[in-house]
Amino acid sequence: MRVQGANAWDWNRTQPYTVTYRVCNQPDEAADYFDGAEKIDPSISEIGYSTIHYGYLCPDGDEDWYKFAVPSAYPVTITVDLEDLPADYDLDLYTPSGTLQKQSQNPGTASEKITHYVNSVGGEWHVRVYSGVPGASSATQDYELEVDLSGMLRDLAFELCALQIQKAEAGPPAERGDQAS
């Protein structure tokens, strides 16, 4: 790096200049494209399991792709939260096959949120974090990303209940008589 006056008379002995430069975290926490998405664990808030992921959009133009597994056996509600934003970041949700499903594009540093109900479309769903306006990035303040899967336990519970009822109905009369007395 070299700093010099544009002309011979461009100098000043009383007023200092400032040089600012930014160093991005390396390596980047996630790739810039669908196929390179970083695999993350989703939270399952219904059983109190929570996991939050942190990352930076840096340098300008950086975008971060993540993926998470969704089971195919049950309907699931996917909730994606992107919070603590240093600038205008936006959020996309993509299906496992790469189709854009939903977007959250609030202005300024407002948080982003996507909620999407999935009925038996299992596989690796993808999330994209990117700049909402040119130059929205930060080398010093990270964002918080959380993916939560919910509804599975309820469906699993319903299924188990249904099985119990079937078993009870198919059970021998004596057993049922015992329970009734």
Chain residues in the site for Ca ion (CB under 5 A): 28, 62, 64, 88, 90, 106, 132
Determine whether 96 is exposed, middle or buried from the number of CB atoms within 10 Å of its CB (0-12, 13-18, 19+). middle
User: What is the dihedral sign for C-alpha 117, 118, 123, 128?
Assistant: negative
Considering the complex, state which of residue 79 and residue 106 has its C-beta at the smaller distance from Ca ion: 106
User: Least distance from C-beta 10 to Ca ion, angstroms?
Assistant: 38
In whole angstroms, give the CA distance from residue 154 to residue 46: 9
Considering the complex, state which of residue 66 and residue 74 has its C-beta at the smaller distance from Ca ion: 66
Considering the complex, state which of residue 28 and residue 124 has its C-beta at the smaller distance from Ca ion: 28
User: Least distance from C-beta 23 to Ca ion, angstroms?
Assistant: 13
**Which DSSP letter does residue 144 get?**
E
Residue facing Ca ion at closest CB distance: 132
The CA distances from residue 99 to 90, 94, 95, 102, in Å, are: 17, 5, 5, 9
Considering the complex, state which of residue 40 and residue 70 has its C-beta at the smaller distance from Ca ion: 40
User: Least distance from C-beta 162 to Ca ion, angstroms?
Assistant: 43
User: Least distance from C-beta 142 to Ca ion, angstroms?
Assistant: 9
User: Least distance from C-beta 52 to Ca ion, angstroms?
Assistant: 16
In whole angstroms, give the CA distance from residue 77 to residue 174: 43
Considering the complex, state which of residue 28 and residue 84 has its C-beta at the smaller distance from Ca ion: 28
> Helices in the chain by DSSP H: which ranges?
152-170, 173-180
User: Least distance from C-beta 115 to Ca ion, angstroms?
Assistant: 16
Dig out the tokens for 51 from the structure: 């996991």
Three-state DSSP at 152 gives helix
Considering the complex, state which of residue 74 and residue 130 has its C-beta at the smaller distance from Ca ion: 130
